[in-house]
Structure 1
Amino acid sequence: MFRHTMLFLGYELKNMLRNPLWPFFGVLQPILYLLLFAPLLENTAIGADGTDTLLVFTPGVMMMVAVFGSLFVGFGMVVEIRNGYLERLAVSQVWRPAIVLGRSIRDVIILIFQALLVVGIATLMGMRASLPGLLLMLPLMAATGLLASGLSYGLALAVRDENGMASLLQFFSLPLILLTGILLPMSLAPGWMQTVAEFNPLYHTVEAGRALFAGDFSDGSIPLAFGLTIGLAVLTTAWSVSSMRKLAG
């Protein structure tokens, strides 16, 4: 099982290295938010100076990378389903969960690389985050990425159509942005929106990220975010693995 997963991981990483610019393009939009949007918040209620603003804004940008960097990975799988490549793999002697797990681990590796790039730029801009908090933020990002990639792969195997996937993901992406407090803290939102956000697991990951960066390890959002994210990541990954087994017939 482990060997098959590592073989698929190696194969996916080699494919990625053939086009090494794609991970940079994937993180380009969050970096632009960091460079162009964060300075606009310096004189708002978020913080009186750029350092306070970056401690609030950077964890949101990192979660944007985790969610939207993994939420669209299933489109490549739809192409492989259409040309028959994935079905040939599914009916082979390979351990079928490895087909999904190898891709998911690759996605997490890319996310960690992108996250470090975002943190490096934010540090150059003057951010001074808690180092233990930053180290804890990386596994939280990884769990969030697994959640999103598992959902994307499961959706690809269920829908098997780019147009259907695009419609579903576009429908949910805007509420995800607005109700997670990625761009602005939900404390600035009206009461009804704050209530709705409480039912969004990703909202708690963003709040936990901000607490971690500030070094507030007693914040209740941290264990809540880890528990919800890891639990949902297991569920979405299990769904994608189950869908792969169904593909094999």
Structure 2
Amino acid sequence: MIRDTWLFFGYEMRALMRNPVWPLLGLMQPVLYLLLFAPLFAGQAFNGDMGKALDVFAPGMLVMTALFSSFTAGYGTIMELKSGVLERLAVSPASRPSILLGRMLRDTVMLLVQSAVFLVLGFVLGMRIGVVALLLMLLLMVATGLMAAGAAYGLALATKDENAMGSIMQFVMLPLMLLSGALLPMAYGPAWLEKVAWFTPFYHPTEAGRALFAGDFGDFNVLLGFVIMLGLAALTISWSVRGLRRLAG
């Protein structure tokens, strides 16, 4: 399976290099928030101190990057379903999990490149984070990205339709993103809203990221964020692999 995964990863990376539009589009939204919304946030809550504001704002944008960058991968899968490419791969002698794992490795590389661009821009604007905290934040993003990619591929294989997938994602993602606290910490709102947010999945990596940026490695949110994202990643990847196996009959 390792050999097949590596082969599919190489194939997907070559295809990505021929059409690098999706990585750029996935990075555009967080960068625009960083450039246009973060200064407003700094002026409102931190007396214009961009460095302190980015310690709170940047983790949410990194989580948003991991989610939106990985979720868009499902649309390409639907195109391959309609063209018959994925069905031919699914019935080939190759390991079926490798077909999806190769794509997820590509998504992870793309996410790390996007994160590097975002972080460089953040450092220029005054963001500061320690090396250990930065590495842990990137690992948390990888776990979040794998969870989102698994959900995207599973949903694509279940719906087999771009419109249906887009409608479901819009219906589910908007409230979850608002409750994640990516734009504004939920602690700024009423207590009941923060309690509701605690039971949503994206709230936890956002809070874990903020604890890491603050250098508070012992914060329980850090452990909780990793546990929840890794657990959900295992579930969504299993779901997408089962969907591919059903496709192959």
TM-score normalised by L of structure 1: 0.97
Indicate the residue corresponding to 1:245 in structure 2: 245
Shift of 1:7: 0.4
1:118-177 CA distance string (max 9 Å, x none): 111000001111221111000100000000010010011111111110110011121122
DSSP 3-state at the match of 2:182: coil
Is 1:98 matched up with 2:98? yes
DSSP 3-state at the match of 2:11: helix
Indicate the residue corresponding to 1:162 in structure 2: 162
Q: Distance in 2 between matches of 1:33 and 1:48?
A: 16
Indicate the residue corresponding to 1:153 in structure 2: 153
Shift of 1:21: 4.0
Shift of 1:44: 2.4
When the two chains are superposed, the root-mean-square deviation of aligned CA atoms in Å is 1.1
List runs of 5+ in structure 2 lacking aligned partners. none
Q: Distance in 1 between matches of 2:221 and 2:73?
A: 28
Identical positions, percent: 52
Is 1:74 matched up with 2:93? no
1:198-236 CA distance string (max 9 Å, x none): 001210100000110111111110000000100110110
DSSP 3-state at the match of 2:178: helix
Give the conservation status (yes or no) of the 8 Å contact 2:158–2:243: yes
Give the conservation status (yes or no) of the 8 Å contact 1:208–1:222: yes
Give the conservation status (yes or no) of the 8 Å contact 2:5–2:101: yes
Shift of 1:46: 5.2
Give the aligned residue type for 2:129. Answer: A
Shift of 1:88: 0.8
Give the conservation status (yes or no) of the 8 Å contact 2:177–2:202: no
Q: Distance in 2 between matches of 1:147 and 1:21?
A: 22
Give the conservation status (yes or no) of the 8 Å contact 1:58–1:122: yes
DSSP 3-state at the match of 2:135: helix
Indicate the residue corresponding to 2:65 in structure 1: 65
Shift of 1:18: 0.4
1:86-116 CA distance string (max 9 Å, x none): 1111111111111111101110110011111
Q: Distance in 2 between matches of 1:99 and 1:33?
A: 34
Q: Output aligned runs, 1:1-249, within 5 Å.
A: 1-45=1-45, 49-249=49-249
Give the conservation status (yes or no) of the 8 Å contact 2:154–2:236: yes
**Residues 55, 240 of structure 1: alpha-carbon distance in 2 compared, 3 angstrom cutoff:** same
Q: Distance in 1 between matches of 2:18 and 2:9?
A: 14
Q: Distance in 2 between matches of 1:117 and 1:110?
A: 11
Give the aligned residue type for 1:35. Answer: L
TM-score normalised by L of structure 2: 0.97
Give the aligned residue type for 1:174. Answer: L
Shift of 1:48: 5.5
DSSP 3-state at the match of 2:71: coil
Shift of 1:22: 3.1
List runs of 5+ in structure 1 lacking aligned partners. none
Shift of 1:32: 0.8
Q: Distance in 2 between matches of 1:114 and 1:63?
A: 12
Q: Distance in 2 between matches of 1:21 and 1:242?
A: 29
Give the conservation status (yes or no) of the 8 Å contact 1:46–1:56: no
Give the conservation status (yes or no) of the 8 Å contact 1:27–1:114: yes
